[in-house]
């Protein structure tokens, strides 16, 4: 049995192996998970482990071949030496039977005793003294009962000897005792033909020395192999560390750069490939720092320009407004063409003033000076005011404005002015794209958040446009006229207002099926929205809203609020923020 087989046969090793195989070890599960995590995260561990495994397999194969070759050589040498010694013994044994006849039983027995007990070659012994046992058999079974045989010869070996050939076979030697011990051995058998009859002479050579030699070789190969594997593993860890360490430094420096510390650089030493990588990284960081600083400067200039222009335009705008109001008030005495021009001038001045106000609001957000003035208010009342403020516009466009809201109040800590502005922008945007179809406003809340959705059934959005609708001055279809006279900044300001509340403002739409805008804000100031009580995508994208008079939606202008249909919780949690 090899050393590895003896080690694997130990009860403790077998028990541990079964525990790991069945997953019952107290540390097995967590240990495997830690190793798997380390394998995925550490390049150094992967390289070292792979090197150890490959080296171990190579050392195992080479060790097995080496032990096999040495074992074959030792056994072949022992076999050749045993055959040579048995040949010498055959000549001495033949001399012992000279002058004997088949009937001289006493002489035959004495000759056999001399052969089996004599320690020298002249009596049939072997010169090296490593013989363990000798036995003589006769082809006459009746004579065998009177000979001191004392050796159980394998039948296959004896059949070869009976045919007159020299035969060699490896067989274990069983020593008497309690318990009996077994030693590997080599049996050499050959026929002895004399005047006294035909005999079989067997020599049994112990292989204890050869087994000890092979055990020593196996132990040496095993220890040398383990030492080689450990040495290679240490070299792999060392060499990999030299490569991985600069990569880790680069990764940490990149993280600090991404966090805003643009002054971070990699310390470079040497002129090798790693040093070249560090220099290239530093050059890239310098370029990024310069570009970011340039962009920041341009952004500050742009913000300042927008703010300054907006402020500076107010003075001439006030003068123009005074003249326009004078003309507008006297338009009755003008010719029809001049009267229409005065009306257009007044309308465009109103739009220009709205644009200036929104530019100033955007500049506050860009400068980071916008602040919330939160208070606990009823969101239902804010929705009512936003809807009532949009009724005139809805009637002008021939759009039916429907509202679905809970029967009781919904309290939330919000900035009333900003939330009402968001709702007016969403409703105005929906009226602008409704194409004469109804616009539906829904309100719902749970313990953590409140949500309002504004849905139209008009032109809808193309794929990818839901992420663009909040960009400044973006228009889905430039060829469409703006019925509401919008500035193109309403949704962008609305998004900033909701972000200031730590909430969500999202959009959904399909071409020909309309669009949905959802506003979700936390009910407690300072909280962050985790989910919305209303789904973003409609449950039925083909149906028109319920007409006034149902329990699902009512017109605030004509009837009191009715309970809102319960939202689908499965869909409410799967929305994607635009």
pLDDT at residue 146, rounded to an integer: 52
pLDDT at residue 426, rounded to an integer: 92
Residues 292 and 383 in one domain: no
Spatial separation of the C-alpha atoms in residues 201 and 161, rounded to whole Å: 9
pLDDT at residue 376, rounded to an integer: 92
| pTM of full prediction above 0.85 | no
The 3-class SS string of 134-163 reads EEEEECCHHHHCCCCCCCCCCHHHHHHHHC
Residues 242 and 320 in one domain: no
Residues 463 and 532 in one domain: yes
pLDDT at residue 152, rounded to an integer: 67
Of the residues 258, 275, 308, the one at which a domain ends: 258
Residues 388 and 484 in one domain: yes
Spatial separation of the C-alpha atoms in residues 253 and 164, rounded to whole Å: 87
Spell out the residues 6+ positions from residue 464 whose beta carbon is closer than 8 angstroms to its own. Answer: none
Residues 477 and 563 in one domain: yes
Residues 55 and 158 in one domain: yes
pLDDT at residue 125, rounded to an integer: 43
- Pull the structure tokens for residue 552: 């699902």
Q: Is the peptide bond before 179 cis (omega within 30 degrees of 0)?
A: yes
Residues 388 and 422 in one domain: yes
Give all strands of the β-sheet with 181-194 in edge-to-edge order.
Answer: 133-138, 197-206, 181-194, 167-175
The answer to whether residue 440 sits within a structural domain is yes
Residues 302 and 410 in one domain: no
The answer to whether residue 150 sits within a structural domain is yes
Q: How far is CA 553 from CA 118, 278, 572, in A?
A: 121, 64, 19
pLDDT at residue 506, rounded to an integer: 92
Find the Cα–Cα–Cα–Cα dihedral 465, 469, 474, 478, rounded to 10°: 60
pLDDT in tens, the chain (578 residues): 444 344 344 444 344 445 444 444 445 567 788 877 878 777 778 888 888 888 889 989 998 999 899 988 988 988 888 888 888 888 887 888 787 777 777 787 777 777 777 554 434 444 433 454 556 666 656 566 556 555 667 778 878 887 888 888 888 776 656 676 677 888 888 888 887 777 788 888 888 888 888 889 899 999 998 999 889 888 888 888 877 788 888 888 888 888 878 788 888 877 777 788 888 888 888 888 888 888 878 777 776 776 677 667 777 877 887 888 888 788 888 888 888 888 888 877 877 777 777 777 777 777 676 778 889 999 999 999 999 988 888 888 888 989 988 888 899 999 998 899 899 889 988 988 888 899 999 999 999 999 999 999 988 888 888 888 888 777 665 555 444 445 677 888 889 889 989 999 999 988 888 899 999 999 998 888 999 999 988 876 554 554 443 323 333 333 333 333 333 333 333 333 43
The residue range of the domain holding 24 is 1-30
Of the residues 240, 258, 276, the one at which a domain ends: 258
Neighbours of 325 (CB within 10 A): 14
Of the residues 339, 355, 370, the one at which a domain ends: 370
The answer to whether residue 246 sits within a structural domain is yes
The answer to whether residue 499 sits within a structural domain is yes
Residues 65 and 201 in one domain: yes
pLDDT at residue 133, rounded to an integer: 52
Residues 8 and 70 in one domain: no
Of the CA atoms within 13 Å of residue 516, those in its CB half-sphere come to 23
Neighbours of 566 (CB within 10 A): 8
pLDDT at residue 305, rounded to an integer: 72
Q: Is 392 helix (H, G, I), strand (E, B) or coil?
A: helix
Residues 298 and 405 in one domain: no
Are 59 and 51 within 8 A, CB to CB?
no
What is the tally of structural domains in the chain? 4
The answer to whether residue 37 sits within a structural domain is no
The answer to whether residue 35 sits within a structural domain is no
Q: What is the CATH number of the domain that holds 326?
A: 1.10.287.130
pLDDT at residue 234, rounded to an integer: 87
Residues 129 and 235 in one domain: yes
The answer to whether residue 578 sits within a structural domain is no
The angle at the Cα of 198, spanning 195 to 202, to the nearest 5 degrees, equals: 125
Spell out the residues 6+ positions from residue 381 whose beta carbon is closer than 8 angstroms to its own. Answer: 409
Spell out the residues 6+ positions from residue 466 whose beta carbon is closer than 8 angstroms to its own. Answer: 506, 507, 508, 509, 578
Give all strands of the β-sheet with 514-522 in edge-to-edge order.
Answer: 401-404, 439-445, 449-456, 514-522, 504-510
Q: What is the CATH number of the domain that holds 392?
A: 3.30.565.10
């Amino acid at each position: 049995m090899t050393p590895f087989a003896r080690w694997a046969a130990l009860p403790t090793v077998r028990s541990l192996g079964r525990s790991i195989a069945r997953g019952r070890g107290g540390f097995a599960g967590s240990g495997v998970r830690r190793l798997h995590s380390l394998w995925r995260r550490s390049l150094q561990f992967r390289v070292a482990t792979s090197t150890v495994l490959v080296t171990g397999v190579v050392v195992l194969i080479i060790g097995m071949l080496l032990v096999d070759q040495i074992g074959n050589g030792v056994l072949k040498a022992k076999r050749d030496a045993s055959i040579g010694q048995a040949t010498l013994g055959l000549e001495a044994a033949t001399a012992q039977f000279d002058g004997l006849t088949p009937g001289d039983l006493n002489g035959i027995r004495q000759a056999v005793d001399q052969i089996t007990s004599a320690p020298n070659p002249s009596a049939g012994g072997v010169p090296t003294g490593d013989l363990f046992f000798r036995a003589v058999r006769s082809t006459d079974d009746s004579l065998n009962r009177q000979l001191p045989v004392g050796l159980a010869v394998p039948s296959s070996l004896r059949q070869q000897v009976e045919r007159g050939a020299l035969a060699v076979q490896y067989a274990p030697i069983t020593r008497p005792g309690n318990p009996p011990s077994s030693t590997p051995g080599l049996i050499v058998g050959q026929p002895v033909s004399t005047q006294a009859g035909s005999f079989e002479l067997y020599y049994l050579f112990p292989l204890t020395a050869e087994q000890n030699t092979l055990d020593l070789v196996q132990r040496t190969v095993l220890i040398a192999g383990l030492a080689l594997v450990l040495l290679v593993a240490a070299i792999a860890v060392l060499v990999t560390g030299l490569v991985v360490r600069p990569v880790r430094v680069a990764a940490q420096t990149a993280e600090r750069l991404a966090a805003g510390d643009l002054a971070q650089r990699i310390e470079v030493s040497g002129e090798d490939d790693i040093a070249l990588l560090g220099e290239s990284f530093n050059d890239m960081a310098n370029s990024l720092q310069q570009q970011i600083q340039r962009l920041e400067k341009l952004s500050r200039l742009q913000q300042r320009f927008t703010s300054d222009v907006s402020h500076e335009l107010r003075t001439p705008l006030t003068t123009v407004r005074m003249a326009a109001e004078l003309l507008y008030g006297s338009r009755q005495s003008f010719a029809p063409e001049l009267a229409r021009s005065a009306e257009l001038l007044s309308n465009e001045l109103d739009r220009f003033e709205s644009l200036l106000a929104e530019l100033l609001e955007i500049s506050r957000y860009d400068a980071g000076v916008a602040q919330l003035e939160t208070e606990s208010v009823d969101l239902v009342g804010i929705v009512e005011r936003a809807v009532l403020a949009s009724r005139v516009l809805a009637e002008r466009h021939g759009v039916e404005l429907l509202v679905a809201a809970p029967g009781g109040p919904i309290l939330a800590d919000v900035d009333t002015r900003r939330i009402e502005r968001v709702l007016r922008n969403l409703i105005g945007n929906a009226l602008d794209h409704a194409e004469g179809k109804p616009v539906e406003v829904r309100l719902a809340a749970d313990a953590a958040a409140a949500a309002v959705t504004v849905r139209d059934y008009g032109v809808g959005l193309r794929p990818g446009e839901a992420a663009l609708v909040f960009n400044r001055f973006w228009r889905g279809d430039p060829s469409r006229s703006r019925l509401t006279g919008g500035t193109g900044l309403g949704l962008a300001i609305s998004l900033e207002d909701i972000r200031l509340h730590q909430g969500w403002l999202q959009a959904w739409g399909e071409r020909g099926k309309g669009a949905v805008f959802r506003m979700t804000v936390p009910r407690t100031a300072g909280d962050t929205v985790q989910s919305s009580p209303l789904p973003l995508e409609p449950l039925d994208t083909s149906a028109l809203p319920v007409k006034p008079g149902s329990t699902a939606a009512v017109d605030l202008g004509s009837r009191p609020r009715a309970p809102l249909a319960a939202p689908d919780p499965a869909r409410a949690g799967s929305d994607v923020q635009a």
